[in-house]
Chains A and B, each alone.
Chain A
Amino acid sequence: MTLEVMAFPGALSILSLAMALAFLRLMRGPSLPDRVIALDLIATLAVGMIVLYAMAIDQPVLLDVALALALLSFLGTVAFARYLERSYRP
């Protein structure tokens, strides 16, 4: 089935494109929170890519990696937010 053969590389390249856009935002900023949400989106995109790859190579065990990455990215974002808020002196 050609559709399926096309589907995984297609979806992965769309996600790669989205990741490239997020990288542009990461480089541009301009504020630190902008970079944090760009990193957050990159991690989310990585989760999506891992799940797609798990499907492509028929390895459901990779879903655990996705879960771990989602957890880490959440903790990272929360830590960044705490750090930003605490370190700011008006």
Chain B
Amino acid sequence: MREILSLVLMAIGAAFMLIAGIGLLRMPDLYTRMSATTKATTMGVGSILLAAAVHFGEPAIVARALAVIAFALLTSPVAAHMIGRAAYFTGVPLWRGTVIDELRGRYDRRTHALESIRFPELERRLADLQVYRLRVPSESAVIGKTLAEIELRKRYNVTLLAIFRGAHVIANPEGDVQLLAGDELILIGSHERLREAMDLIYQSS
């Protein structure tokens, strides 16, 4: 019985590690590769160590195996986070099919400090209003249209505070500003109406 349990755990562990290897080789960019390897290795090493604990069955060895598992569970996410962070800062590219990069433009390249655009005071006082930050996807139907054509204010009762375009900011944009792919819009409005505006912006042409 114990032998069978140990063999099953071993098989699970080996399978997970093989998946980690395949994922590392096949995934399209660093971040997805890391996603494949870190989870699979924690689970893989965990299962194999549990197999060892069951196999030997002595309390001292079981304790040691559990200690290694606890260590792996603690360190693997930390190491992955550090590498991911270093890679992001050093400009390792994301996969072309990446849908959203929420960190983009939100950290200081020099100090590596992270900031997010929030209006805490405003949000507290205007309880019904939300501030949204969203990115115009590359195949959006609104690309190339001017703000006057989209009529965010008239149709959705949503106000566009600013557009983040690459390195510069277009604050309080005029009606003749055209939207481009990759623009980040800071919108203010009620939750439901913002959702509707989001549907429009995320709609593909």
Interface status of B130 (Cβ within 8 A of chain A):
no
Stretch in contact with the other chain, from B82-90, B176-184, B192-200: B82-90
Q: Are A17 and B21 in contact (CB under 8 A)?
A: yes
Q: Are B82 and A60 in contact (CB under 8 A)?
A: no
Also in contact, A85 and B90, with CB within 8 A (given A41-B24, A47-B45): yes
How many A residues touch B, CB cutoff 8 Å? 50
Please count the residue pairs between chain A and chain B whose beta carbons lie under 8 angstroms apart in the complex: 162
The binding surface of chain B is classed by DSSP as: helix
Over the window 44-60 of chain A, the binary record of Cβ atoms lying under 8 Å from chain B Cβ atoms (1 yes, 0 no) is: 11011001101100001
| A7 vs B110: C-alpha distance when bound (angstroms) | 53
Top 5 nearest A-B pairs (CB, nearest first) are A18-B21, A81-B82, A21-B21, A33-B87, A84-B86
- Within 8 Å by CB of A60, from B18, B21, B58, B89, lies B58
Q: Are A21 and B78 in contact (CB under 8 A)?
A: no
Q: Are B71 and A70 in contact (CB under 8 A)?
A: yes
The interface of chain B, by Cβ under 8 A from chain A, is 3, 6-7, 10-11, 13-15, 17-18, 20-22, 24-25, 30, 33-34, 37, 41, 44-45, 48-49, 51-52, 55-56, 58, 61, 64-65, 67-68, 71-72, 75-76, 78-80, 82-87, 89-92, 109-110, 112
Q: Are B83 and A36 in contact (CB under 8 A)?
A: yes
